[in-house]
Amino acid sequence: MNTDLIVAIVVSAIAYGTPLVLAGLGELLTERSGVLNLGVEGMMLMGAVTGFFVSQQLGGPGWAVLIVAMIVAAGAGGLMALIHAFLSITVRVNQIVSGLALTIFAGAVGLSSYVGQVWGIGGQHGLHQLNRVDLLGLGELPVVGPILFDQDPFVYLSWGLVVLVAWYLYRTRFGLYLRAVGESPRSADAMGINVTRYRYVHTVVGGALAGLGGAYFTLAIAPIWTDGLTAGAGWIAIALVIFAFWRPDVLLIGAYLFGALSSLGFTLQAHGVQMPSEFFSSLPYLMTVVVLAGASTTLARRRIGTPASLGVPYAREEG
Amino acid sequence: MISIERSLDTPRWQRVALPFMSLVLAAIISGLVLAASGHDPIATYRQIYAASFTSPGALTSTFVYATPLLFTGLCVAVAFRMRVWNIGGEGQLYMGAIGASGAGLLLGGLPQPLLIPVMIVAGVAFGALWAMIPGLLRAYLQTNEILVSLMLNYVAGLIMYFLIYDSQSFWRDLTSPTALVFPTGKTLSASATWPGVVIGSFTLPMGFLVGVGFAVLLFVLVRNTRFGFEMRVMGDSPSAATYAGMRTRRIILAVMALSGGIAGLGGASQIGDFGHVLDPRGLQQAQYGYTGIVVAALALYNPLAVVVVSILIGALTNAGFALQGPSFPAGLVGTMEGIILFSVLGGEILGRYRIRIGSQLRVAPADAEADAGR
């Protein structure tokens, strides 16, 4: 295989993997606090549509517009997560159904489609798109240049976030408390940790990261808005968290593997390989099934990483 | 002393009142969303009511949407009640449609009274087999069935696309020159058409009647049989079921097969009652599988209540398609359905807690944690 093809595959793996890294990190933080949020797909779509809308409306220098668009997208994702936080933490309803409700509410035929139509941004061509930044002028280096030093700011941001989240989880007091809340909210409560606050904060931050991940589709991959353009990326991000055993470093690798699978069809077709497009399109979904089955066999044996209280509401007066 | 405490059981009237209160709450919140986006809520609700019940032909088309929702609603109700989280109803419906249309095309020469049962069996079998993938993985490897069943929805959709748009498959019409340029499926023979019940200008699809039959069967099955008892025990407390020596794997598989089979039957009804052709875009556009979750939750996972709720949500879906346009954006119905689901969930707190005036004496049950989800 020639190097060009490999570089092309890696570069597009990073492009398609970046939204998964962002949304996956968000879900990882949420699940570490013991809250399962199945609304990632809906939160990503809300981030995608609001980010795109803001980038179309604002004037000014491109970089400033894009930063504002990213902040708004994160805010939209966080706001969606707040609904789930209220229902699952305060009202203590079933987290699975609440997350599904969020995806139905905000998803491909829900609010994201509704606001997209009310704002009339369907079919518009994007005015701003995140460009690659040649870091330290090293983008011209063979192989590592295009992979490591010639990415858009979102990609650098996602790398920074992986390091930040890993540091936060394993090297700070707050991270330790967060893991305690996820493992045993009762013990954490007895230690004086505010379980409710930890769960709220990490659910909302998780939503904000999902919103950012969604905005990557409309601000970086292709500057257009169509209903349901994330095509299940939110669900794959949830699967990735399981696959990564709730660890940010493994999540990054997993996300790029799925990114490679998602883009494999385009890359191979561009290099003249003929296969039905449906086959390539179904690869990430089939791979998710295979990976989940594989991870669950190990999990069943060793139970690595799963926060013990995941999906279980915490109520001080009960039990 | 006034205190808020857990109620040990939900009074019957509350179980009945809850869905209605949720709907009222949802109507108010949806009204706020409408007003915020510059629509008059009252006028919009009037439009929806007319488009789903009173305009000419409206009731018939409401049942066109209520029928698949009845099946996907039952699919979700039977699984979620047992805490088997099958959200693959969407894909299982596609597979049922593939199976039923395949059988209908293959045996198109059979007389109607034979062909219709064959299509039903094919639809159920395809849906149930597709649901066996997450079922087996869950039963033997404890793999998360939510994600597996959901991923398979996308795969089933792609299989349909492949059969019609990207291959020379048995399902595709390859005879006429226009069909080669604009791919469509083969149309089934007249004997594969399910006869509806015509009452004046209103047509009740046969599939809806079959669905009502299934709802009654499920209700009896869950309530009055040993298998139903085992399912309920497993749904309430998996560990109790294991200690009692129930074969939990078998129950999970049975629930999955039942749930997937019903969704597959919905797919068969899509072919026999309405489409008469395998139409990937049409099947995918409506998202019946996901809407089934709203139907089941609003029916509080009771099969008989699913019948009523499917008509209600079918009416809303119908209005969404009938009114679609600049003043009635496509995403509105999905948004409203999401709000309904949120309201049902939020309303649960009213059923689970009560305000008590007097001394605090009663103690919450030990397994309250496990029960909190329902």
Does residue A317 lie in a domain region? no
In this prediction, residue B368 carries a pLDDT of: 44
- Whether residue B356 has pLDDT greater than 70: no
**Closest chain B C-alpha to A45 CA, distance in angstroms:** 12
Residue labelled with tokens 């009310």? A118
Does residue A307 lie in a domain region? no
Count of domains in chain A? 1
In this prediction, residue A141 carries a pLDDT of: 73
Distances (CA, A) of B47 to A165, B40, B43, B53: 50, 11, 6, 10
Q: Does B345 touch chain A (CB under 8 A)?
A: yes
Which chain A residues are within 8 Å of B338, Cβ to Cβ? 101-102, 104-107, 110-111
For the ranges A130-134, B71-75, B201-205, B259-263, the lowest mean pLDDT is seen at: A130-134
Please identify every stretch of chain A with a pLDDT value under 70, giving residue numbers as ranges: 1, 134-137, 298-304, 317-319
Cβ-based neighbours of A261, under 8 Å, separated by 6 or more = A283, A284, A287
Question: How far apart are the C-alpha atoms of A16 and A264, rounded to whole Å?
Answer: 10
Q: Could you tell me the residue ranges of all domains in chain B? A: 1-39+327-374, 63-322
ipTM above threshold 0.85: yes
Does residue A318 lie in a domain region? no
Between B306 and A291, the higher pLDDT residue: B306
The radius of gyration of chain B's CA atoms, rounded to the nearest angstrom, is: 22
Does residue A308 lie in a domain region? no
**Mean pLDDT, chain B, as a whole number?**
88
- Residue A168 belongs to domain spanning: 3-302
Does residue A311 lie in a domain region? no
**CB-closest option in B142, B151, B329 to A289:** B151
CATH of the domain at A66: 1.10.3470
In this prediction, residue A299 carries a pLDDT of: 61
**Closest chain A C-alpha to B5 CA, distance in angstroms:** 9
The backbone torsions φ and ψ at residue B169, rounded to the nearest 5 degrees and listed phi first, read -70, 170
In this prediction, residue B5 carries a pLDDT of: 62
Does residue A315 lie in a domain region? no
- Whether residue B247 has pLDDT greater than 90: no
Q: Does B349 touch chain A (CB under 8 A)?
A: yes
Q: What is the dihedral of CA A82, A84, A86, A87, to 10 degrees?
A: 170
In this prediction, residue B3 carries a pLDDT of: 56
First to last CA, chain A: 60
Task: Give mean pLDDT, residues B346-372.
Answer: 58
- Whether residue B103 has pLDDT greater than 80: yes
Closest CA to B160 of B27, B18, B326, B271: B271
Q: Does B321 touch chain A (CB under 8 A)?
A: no
In this prediction, residue B295 carries a pLDDT of: 96
Q: Regarding the domain delimited by B63-322, which CATH topology (the fold level of the hierarchy) does it fall under?
A: ABC transporter involved in vitamin B12 uptake, BtuC (1.10.3470)
Which chain A residues are within 8 Å of B87, Cβ to Cβ? 100
**CB-closest option in A94, A108, A288 to B373:** A94
Percent of chain B with pLDDT over 90: 59
In this prediction, residue B373 carries a pLDDT of: 41
Between A87 and B245, the higher pLDDT residue: A87
Which residue of A lies nearest to B292 if distances are taken between CA atoms? Answer: A104
Q: Does B216 touch chain A (CB under 8 A)?
A: no
Provide the token pair at A33: 């606090």
In this prediction, residue B124 carries a pLDDT of: 98
Question: How far apart are the C-alpha atoms of A137 and A135, rounded to whole Å?
Answer: 5
Does residue A146 lie in a domain region? yes
The backbone torsions φ and ψ at residue A127, rounded to the nearest 5 degrees and listed phi first, read -85, -25
Closest CA to B349 of A93, A317, A100, A96: A93
In this prediction, residue B369 carries a pLDDT of: 45
**CB-closest option in B37, B331, B337 to A112:** B331
Closest CA to A101 of B279, B235, B159, B340: B340
Between B176 and B120, the higher pLDDT residue: B120
In this prediction, residue B8 carries a pLDDT of: 61
